[in-house]
Amino acid sequence: MDLTVAITGATRGIGRAVAAAFVDEGAFVAVSGRDEDAVDQTVAELNGTRTVDDGDDETEDGPAGTAWGARVDVCDESDLERFFADVADEAGAVDVVFANAAVFPGGPGGSPIDAVGYDEFDATMRTNARGVFATAREAAPHLGDDARVIVPSGSVAHESKAGMGSYAVSKAAAEAVARGFAADLDAAVGVVDPGLVATDLTGMEKARAPEDVAPLFVWAATEAPAEDLDGERIGLREWKTATR
């Protein structure tokens, strides 16, 4: 898979799992996060050895692709501007952008909207909605032909659920940002909903593992019909129907 992939929030959870899946497929994967040490560790792990099953025996081999990383805070558009310029310098035009960075104050059910403080609301919107806007905006000059921009979301963006606070509002806004870019960019920009996933962000230990949904995002970024993604939301049902 000769692709250049850029991921925000790539040091843990879904972002980390998707980065690993793309590296395994042979892509150049630019990972980023706010914690520089975590970025360095993630890059080292992704570039380390992996177990390969050749049908007869298992051997240790290097990764099929390459990981590269940089510290990026999506709240700072200057970070994103440098990141995408550096990615393009390292590996050429960007084929896939995964705008994954997000925060979830209070966690699921623990943040009634009427109890959310103004500072918390602003901080959540700045990361989860403005961060998606800044990611897509700064990526745009570096996108290759047939590029795709993926924004993860969930049912909380369009269904009323108690205790989801500013997170639900921010995800609805992020989806609107994706639709706006879909209307104005040549690239396909869309929302991917993996359902409930067990991450530090959600705290849902009994939900699907990030590694189980990573192939959904790879499929959405590479194989799903562009017209099904662009300005739309796709998820597990579409993926399973297309790949069964």
Please write the tens of the pLDDT for every residue from 3-51.
999 999 999 999 999 999 999 999 999 999 999 999 999 999 999 955 4
Beta-carbon contacts of 110 under 8 Å, excluding residues fewer than 6 positions away, are 163
Q: What mean pLDDT do residues 161-186 have?
A: 96
Over the stretch 101-117, which tens digit does the pLDDT of each residue have?
Answer: 999 988 777 889 999 99
Better-predicted residue by pLDDT, 76 or 199: 76
The domain ranges of the chain are 4-243
Instruction: Give the number of other CB atoms < 10 A from CB of residue 198.
Output: 18
User: Which tokens hold the place of 131?
Assistant: 């961060």
Global confidence as pTM? 0.91
Q: What mean pLDDT do residues 89-112 have?
A: 92
CATH architecture of 4-243: 3-Layer(aba) Sandwich (3.40)
Cα–Cα distance, 30 to 79 (Å, whole number): 14
Q: What's the confidence (pLDDT) of residue 51?
A: 47
The length of the chain is: 244
Instruction: Name 68's bridge partners.
Output: 30
The answer to whether 220 touches 188, Cβ cutoff 8 Å, is: no
Cα–Cα distance, 161 to 147 (Å, whole number): 34
Cα–Cα distance, 229 to 179 (Å, whole number): 10
Q: What mean pLDDT do residues 156-165 have?
A: 90
The answer to whether 67 touches 29, Cβ cutoff 8 Å, is: yes
Better-predicted residue by pLDDT, 211 or 203: 211
Residue type, 193: D
Name the nearest CA neighbour of 45 among 20, 13, 27: 20
Q: What's the confidence (pLDDT) of residue 106?
A: 82
Q: What mean pLDDT do residues 157-182 have?
A: 95
Beta-carbon contacts of 144 under 8 Å, excluding residues fewer than 6 positions away, are 4, 92, 93, 94, 95
